[in-house]
Amino acid sequence: MKVTIFSTCLVDMMFPEVGKAMVEVLERFGCKTDLPGSQICCGQPTYNSGYHKDSRASMINQIKAFKNAEYVVGPSGSCVAMLKEYKEIF
């Protein structure tokens, strides 16, 4: 199974060890992992603050970054949930 890692901006900036541990666990269970270098914030902070138009660029970037992913795994429930909201937002 190929799993694409959604590391989230919070993990990237404050808790990189969480991202590393996530990859280690997935690979231990036989998953091949991929980390798109183009991923950025999911747009949740700005979207939830009412800046819906300003969030669109981040969201479009994320859609492009994960467009070829079979499975997306992330360490933050709220960030992953935001990705699921894209279909309603667009």
**Phi, psi (degrees; rounded to nearest 5) at 44:** -60, -45
End-to-end Cα separation, the chain, in angstroms: 29
CA angle 83–86–87, rounded 5-degree value: 125
3-state helix, strand, coil in the chain (%, to 5): 55, 10, 30
Mean pLDDT of 19-42: 95
Amino acid residing at 28: R
Structure tokens at 75: 């360490």
Domain boundaries, the chain: 2-89
pLDDT tens-digit readout, 35-85: 999 999 999 999 999 999 999 999 999 999 999 999 999 999 999 999 999
